[in-house]
């Protein structure tokens, strides 16, 4: 088995631990996966998430930063790092990361939701409502896109007879 294959196996094992709420086991297993494949961006993001869930915001920041070093265009990494900053009371840095996530991916609803929550916490109610309006819009758009992509009436065998 190659190092990449073993790293992927370990990643999957770590993801199971994370899903079961075994954060220490998850971070340990993700660390082994990263040791085998230091360029495994998703392993950094997921280990960072496990650190966040176990209250280790500083460690999470390190992992999200490493994921961004590997891929500076990763909107999710900026979003997650923003959440880590917010958990540490670094709201200015959090806001910058939420802004960057949205700039990179204008239809990234989680970025708008997190930014809305931060605006609300900071007393910026008008800005929070603007972001929540975008969250609602994106939710409706996603439903409409899904319906259009999966419309059973487009299938010849499912069309009603005229």
Specify the pTM.
0.86
Q: What is the number of other CB atoms lying within 10 angstroms of the CB of residue 149? A: 8
Show the DSSP H helices in 20-124 as ranges: 23-36, 41-53, 57-70, 75-87, 91-104, 109-121
- Integer angstrom CA distances of residue 15 from 25, 36, 51: 10, 16, 13
- At residue 158, the pLDDT reads 39
CB neighbour list of residue 156: distance below 8 Å, 6 or more residues apart: none
Mean per-residue pLDDT, 69-94:
97
Has residue 86 got a pLDDT over 60?
yes
Q: What is the rounded (10 degree) CA torsion for 60, 62, 67, 69? A: 160
CB neighbour list of residue 61: distance below 8 Å, 6 or more residues apart: 48, 81, 84, 85, 88
Has residue 2 got a pLDDT over 80?
yes
CB neighbour list of residue 23: distance below 8 Å, 6 or more residues apart: 17, 50, 51, 53, 54
- At residue 146, the pLDDT reads 60
Q: Which of 19-28, 51-60, 145-154 has the lowest mean pLDDT?
A: 145-154
For the chain, which domains are there?
Answer: 1-71 (1.25.40.10), 90-152 (1.25.40)
∠ CA 30-35-39, nearest 5°, is 90
- At residue 72, the pLDDT reads 98
- At residue 151, the pLDDT reads 54
- At residue 45, the pLDDT reads 97
- At residue 108, the pLDDT reads 92
């Amino acid at each position: 088995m190659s190092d990449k294959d073993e790293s992927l196996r370990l990643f999957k094992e770590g993801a199971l631990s994370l899903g079961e709420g075994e954060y220490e086991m998850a971070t340990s297993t993700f660390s082994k996966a990263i040791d085998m494949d230091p360029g495994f961006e998703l392993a950094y993001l997921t280990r960072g998430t496990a650190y966040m869930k176990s209250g280790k915001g500083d460690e999470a920041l390190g992992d999200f930063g490493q994921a961004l070093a590997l891929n500076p265009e990763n909107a999710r990494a900026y979003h997650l790092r923003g959440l880590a900053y917010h958990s540490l009371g670094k709201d200015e840095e959090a806001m910058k990361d939420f802004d960057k996530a949205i700039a990179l991916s204008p239809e990234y609803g989680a970025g708008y939701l997190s930014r809305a929550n931060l605006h609300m916490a900071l007393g910026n109610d008008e800005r929070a409502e603007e972001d929540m309006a975008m969250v609602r819009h994106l939710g409706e758009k996603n439903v409409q896109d899904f319906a259009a992509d999966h419309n059973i009436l487009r299938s010849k065998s499912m069309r009603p007879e005229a």
